[in-house]
Amino acid sequence: VAHLPYLRENPAGWVTETWYCRSGCRRYFTIERNTATNEIRDTEAS
Amino acid sequence: MTDNRLPERAGEVIDRGTSLAFTWNGQGYTGYQGDTIASALASSGVEVFARSMKYKRRRGIMTADHWDPNLFVQVGDEPNVRAGSRRLIAGMEVSAQNVWPSLKFDLGAANQMVGRFLSPGFYYKTFMRPKWFWHNVYQKVLRKFAPGGRIHWETSTHGAYDKRYAHPDVLVAGGGPAGMGAAIAAAEAGASVMLVEHEPELGGHLRWGGADDLTAIAELVSAVESHPSIEVLTDSTVTGRYDHNWIAVMQRSHEIAPERLIKARAASLVVAPGLIERPYIFAGNDTPGVMLSGAVRRLINLWAVKPGTKAVVLSANPEGEAVLADLESAGVEIVAALDVWAGEDVVEVEGKGRVAKVVLGDGRTVSADLVVIGTGWTAPTSLLNMAGDRPVYDPSAARYFSNHLPDNVLATGGITGNGTTAELIAHGRATGSLAASRALRSRHDRRVLASRARNPEGPKPESLQDTRVPLARVPHPECYRSSTHGMVDLSEDVSSKDLVQATKEGFDSIELMKRYTTVTMGPSQGKLETVNAAAVLAEARNMDMVDIGTTVWRPPYAPISLGALAGRIFEPIRRSALQDWHEAHGASPLLAGQWVRPDHYGDPVGESRNVRENVGIIDVTPLGKLDLRGPDVTKLLELVYVNKWQKLDIGRVRYGAMVAEDGVVSDDGLTGRLGEDHYLMTTTSSGAGAVWELLEDYLQTYRPEWDVHVTAVTGGLTSINVAGPKSRDLLLRLAEGVDLDSEAFPYFHVRRGTVAGVADCIIWRIGFTGELSYELHVPSGHALHVWESLLANGEDLGIKPFGVESQRILRLEKGHYIVGQDTDGLTKAPSAGLGGLVKLDKPDTLGLPELKAAYSRTDLPILVAIQPDDPQVVPMEADQIVHGDSNRILGRITSSRMSPTLGRSVCLGLVDPSLSAAGTTITILLIDGRRVTGTVQEHHAHVDPEGVRQNA
């Protein structure tokens, strides 16, 4: 089984994600999210 | 019929001028406007409302509010209506549910006598084996005893449920004195406020209080209602708090919908739910006539209903004592007023349909028909739990208090401590100011972020410090169980004895005990029983309550009907510019994804024949269309499609197939090159949105340096396919500036030109039907003109419009597969017969690693054309292809129709590779159980595999 399409790391803590503003500006952008608390922050914060 | 209605009272909410007639189990009753179903029935002397879930014990009013554990009734075709809170409406047909055969005589009551069979874990222990017995016997019998009302699928008259989105700065959950104080202060500070109250009126516990309380309510309500920034939602419940203060509000009795789900994103949430009165455990505590002090006060003061004639009152707090004055004013004789602080107690209640005798702690037995319990409070900490709080038990106050809250959630009122009305309002106001300050600062931050250069309405508001003086925690006795055992969970019929038994069996943690005994798992969801259950467990294990912990309160706080969750769908319905014409000309509508399309115009078979013999036109506007411009379009196409795109000359068209990262076929379509740096890409109708997003994703994140501009033009260009041997003859009459000669404009080419006087049309020589055909992409504003011109000019050629069903027949005859119908979420590229198309030597293609892996496999199913050996048998789509007489599945039929051209049935199917060779006989298992044989064909196309017709 190939790793990329089927398996993802799922760390507790800050991860970098791509979000998509579907109902708004249609931009894809990078954001950081804490998987334990669902806090989000700008990538510049790190 | 007894009349329990009292003379007029100061705070009553009933309108004695408006009498409402309704029925209860078929008998006529009346109540007043403002009554609940329960108060109306109680005013007429009804004492038994239901039978309990397991033991079928008679049950009556206990809390006289939304949480009353046994007041579930059927109203017309609506099951599980809470009689404790549902307001009476004239003509309601109310009946008891969970009774069989009737409320007065219930067969299940025999369960009481065999109570030992219904011990905790009874179902787990008893209905295990033999296995076949479950399906054949247990299930059928048990269903008769299952609680719940009846749903009427056919006759529901509830109309449409609805949804709403809201973005208040501050959302206040609870409209008592603290909640109203918070709303007023927050609004005064400049915040927009949504104030949500569970009951039909604002006021909280002041509503059933004395004259001072009623005056306080009037002042608060007038301040709330006169402030333009406060939106008040009564008869509405905050049912959940999710991440980033995403708040779910269930609004009942809305004027246009029976229930409306409001999804609110609040900058600050103020939690002010007050307290819920807690029942007390003793033998017979579920007998009708045992009521909590709040229930008695509500019945007397709100609805002017006399709850009994001779009362025993057990009280541990001032609210419990206040009930004495109410009872006296209602003319109820007080047989005994017992004080918990003085060691007085109620030990047992005797009586079947109503309290008759009460055994007191000092051993005396007294006659009474009412036992009033005021022994403590449960803090409804659900919303705090959902915000990550883990409340901690305080033994001196005998209830739980908040431990830690995030900045955007604040608590006020009774849930945080005790206070006079003035103290509660003051604490609420301070909390509202704080909530507004935090909300306005966060609003400022968002405006700065979103607008960048624009003026964010002045400087950032000052941060307000939390200087609130906490409300006092007034000492309260820990008062959970008498010396006898009784019911803990009246919804689920779980007694304290059951909990002790579960502890002995080893289910001695609160979470295990809950799941094993189902305590707190009924409709009350722990509001009345969680703390008592923890107390019984603590006692059984000889532990402190603090160390027992509680179960976690999860959303929803109050039940939400499925209709409200489904709500109104905000998905738009899309119509092509020609849909009005279709409907005016007899088209049957077909809902396909977001689109309404013409399924057929009355005769899909005739429409198909006409395409093969003359010429037909079909509206294929939903076909996804993406206009791609820029020097790097070729690179983009190379990336997202499995085939090569380098050498596509201007004016040519190529088929492309797309796979996802897992190698599964995700979309396909034709792309034409209109100019040097200009392509028009088509996608499947259902995949149009997803492909657009995919292209944007790759262009924005993976190859931002590529110069490609994507414009979705699906609705902007109306697509009309002109198909049939006479299609060229027709277009010759209407097209200008295009050489239609087959040599000059062959199959799989695209031109631009004028059609019926409309410039800038794109003319493709492509089609799904296998006939000579042209697809016109017309600017939508002129589409109707072009469509009508085609019909008018083709009359002598036998032109007819055809619909989607006819196109499905024609494309199946031609063997064209549809992604999503003939493929599914597991169909990889080799299965779809894309072998010659896929180029594995490209440097970079979406899904390439998985494609390579897929092409090294020999076990993937193959899409083949199949003809049943009996030409009149038309299998159903999804009929299984099996191995001989066995039920071993070797594939399935994916498309199947009777072919008008061939006069026989034709199919496509996905089959095991062992069956994929041409000439193989396969067995199809029809839905009626018959097995028929079919033969695998050499080509996907049943009609014209050489393509003579489309290349003509």
Tens-digit pLDDT profile for residues B220-231: 999 999 999 999
The verdict on a CB contact (< 8 Å) between B701 and A18 is yes
CA distance B847 to chain A (A): 9
The verdict on a CB contact (< 8 Å) between A28 and B701 is yes
Q: Does residue B398 have a pLDDT over 60?
A: yes
Q: Does residue B116 have a pLDDT over 50?
A: no
- CB contact at 8 A, B22 and B90: yes
> Which residue, among B871, B614, B596, has the nearest Cα to B722 in the 3D structure?
B614
Instruction: Compute the distance between CA of residue B1 and CA of residue B24 in angstroms, rounded to an integer.
Output: 13
**Confidence (pLDDT) at B132:** 63
Q: Does residue B157 have a pLDDT over 80?
A: no
* Beta strand segments in B700-849, E: 709-712, 717-723, 735-736, 750-755, 758-764, 773-779, 800-801
Instruction: Cis check for the bond before B391: say yes or no (omega within 30 of 0).
Output: no
Pairwise pLDDT comparison (B931 vs B826), residue with the higher score? B931
pLDDT-based confidence at residue B648 (cuts at 50, 70, 90)? very high
What percent of chain B is modeled with pLDDT above 90?
Answer: 79
**Confidence (pLDDT) at B101:** 61
| Per-residue tokens: B540 | 């059984």
Residue of A nearest to B690 (CA): A22
Q: How far is CA B515 from CA B55, B519, B529, in A?
A: 19, 7, 14
Residue linked to tokens 């009777």:
B898
| Per-residue tokens: B63 | 């809390």
Chain A residues touching B243 at Cβ < 8 A: 38
> Which residue, among B87, B104, B107, has the nearest Cα to B96 in the 3D structure?
B104
Q: Does residue B545 have a pLDDT over 80?
A: yes
The 10 Å Cβ neighbour count of residue B415 is 26
**Confidence (pLDDT) at A16:** 93
Instruction: Compute the distance between CA of residue B39 and CA of residue B24 in angstroms, rounded to an integer.
Output: 13
Indicate the burial class of B122 (C-beta count within 10 angstroms; 0-12, 13-18, 19 or more): middle
- The torsion angles phi and psi of B599, rounded to 5 degrees, stand at -70, -50
Helix, strand, coil shares of chain A, percent, nearest 5, are 15, 35, 50
Residue type, B464: L
Q: What mean pLDDT do residues B454-481 have?
A: 88
pLDDT-based confidence at residue A17 (cuts at 50, 70, 90)? very high
Identify the H or E element spanning B182.
helix B177-188
Question: Residue B592 forms beta bridges with which residues?
Answer: B595
Identify the H or E element spanning A20.
strand A14-20
What lies within 8 Å, CB to CB, of B231 at 6+ separation is: B168, B192, B193, B194, B195
Transcribe B617-684 into DSSP letters.
EEE-TTSEEEEEESTTHHHHHHHHSSS--TT--TTBEEEEEEE-TTSBEEEEEEEEEEETTEEEEEE-
Instruction: Compute the distance between CA of residue B828 and CA of residue B824 in angstroms, rounded to an integer.
Output: 9
Chain A residues touching B387 at Cβ < 8 A: none
Transcribe B223-241 into DSSP letters.
HHHH-TTEEEE-SEEEEEE
The verdict on a CB contact (< 8 Å) between B662 and A22 is no
Q: Does residue B344 have a pLDDT over 70?
A: yes
What percent of chain B is modeled with pLDDT above 70?
Answer: 93
**Confidence (pLDDT) at B106:** 65
- CB contact at 8 A, B475 and B397: yes
| Per-residue tokens: B506 | 């080893």
Residue linked to tokens 């003939």:
B822
Q: Does residue B123 have a pLDDT over 70?
A: no
Indicate the burial class of B397 (C-beta count within 10 angstroms; 0-12, 13-18, 19 or more): buried
ipTM: 0.92
Residue of A nearest to B846 (CA): A5
The verdict on a CB contact (< 8 Å) between A20 and B693 is yes
Pairwise pLDDT comparison (B896 vs B145), residue with the higher score? B896
Best to test chain B binding among A19, A28, A41 (most B CBs inside 10 Å): A28
Q: What mean pLDDT do residues B760-767 have?
A: 96
Q: Does residue B130 have a pLDDT over 90?
A: no
- The torsion angles phi and psi of B751, rounded to 5 degrees, stand at -135, 165
Q: Does residue B339 have a pLDDT over 60?
A: yes
Pairing of the two strands B616-619 and B800-801: parallel
Instruction: Compute the distance between CA of residue B302 and CA of residue B298 in angstroms, rounded to an integer.
Output: 5
**Confidence (pLDDT) at B801:** 98
What lies within 8 Å, CB to CB, of B51 at 6+ separation is: B57, B58, B59, B96, B98, B99, B103, B106, B108, B109
Q: Does residue B893 have a pLDDT over 90?
A: yes
- The torsion angles phi and psi of A38, rounded to 5 degrees, stand at 65, 20
**Confidence (pLDDT) at B107:** 62
Q: Does residue A3 have a pLDDT over 80?
A: no
Residue of A nearest to B571 (CA): A23
Residue type, B36: T
Pairwise pLDDT comparison (B165 vs B152), residue with the higher score? B165
- CB contact at 8 A, B551 and B510: yes
Instruction: Compute the distance between CA of residue B532 and CA of residue B55 in angstroms, rounded to an integer.
Output: 20
**Confidence (pLDDT) at B139:** 63
Chain A residues touching B244 at Cβ < 8 A: 38, 40
| Averaged pLDDT score across all residues of chain B | 92
Pairwise pLDDT comparison (B359 vs B256), residue with the higher score? B359
Our CA dihedral for B700, B701, B707, B712, rounded to 10 degrees, sits at -40
Q: What mean pLDDT do residues A9-34 have?
A: 92
pLDDT-based confidence at residue B118 (cuts at 50, 70, 90)? low
**Confidence (pLDDT) at B802:** 98
Q: Does residue B308 have a pLDDT over 70?
A: yes
The verdict on a CB contact (< 8 Å) between A28 and B697 is yes
Residue linked to tokens 């004895």:
B497
Q: Does residue B108 have a pLDDT over 90?
A: no
pLDDT-based confidence at residue A24 (cuts at 50, 70, 90)? confident
Q: What mean pLDDT do residues B474-481 have?
A: 96
Q: Does B15 touch chain A (CB under 8 A)?
A: no
Buried b / exposed e across B604-635, counting CB within 10 Å, b at 16+? Answer: beebbbbbbebbbbbbbbbbbbbbbbbebbbb
pLDDT-based confidence at residue B100 (cuts at 50, 70, 90)? low
Instruction: Compute the distance between CA of residue B47 and CA of residue B838 in angstroms, rounded to an integer.
Output: 76
User: How many beta-carbon pairs below 8 A join chains A and B?
Assistant: 26
Chain B residues touching A6 at Cβ < 8 A: 662
Q: Does residue B95 have a pLDDT over 70?
A: yes
Our CA dihedral for B318, B324, B330, B335, rounded to 10 degrees, sits at 160
Best to test chain A binding among B701, B856, B857 (most A CBs inside 10 Å): B701
Q: Does A46 touch chain B (CB under 8 A)?
A: no
What lies within 8 Å, CB to CB, of B498 at 6+ separation is: B119, B120, B488, B517, B519
Identify the H or E element spanning A32.
strand A28-34
> Which residue, among B80, B67, B64, has the nearest Cα to B13 in the 3D structure?
B64
Among the partner-chain residues A2, A22, A26, the one whose CB lies closest to the CB of B850 is: A2
What is the CA angle B171-B175-B176, rounded to 5? 135
> Which residue, among B898, B856, B854, B841, has the nearest Cα to B873 in the 3D structure?
B898
**Confidence (pLDDT) at B451:** 55
Among the partner-chain residues A6, A22, A38, the one whose CB lies closest to the CB of B243 is: A38
- For chain B, the farthest-separated pair of C-alpha atoms sits apart, in whole angstroms, at 111
Instruction: Compute the distance between CA of residue B470 and CA of residue B466 in angstroms, rounded to an integer.
Output: 11
Our CA dihedral for B514, B517, B522, B524, rounded to 10 degrees, sits at -60
pTM of the shown model: 0.82
| Per-residue tokens: B527 | 């509001």
Our CA dihedral for B400, B406, B410, B411, rounded to 10 degrees, sits at 0
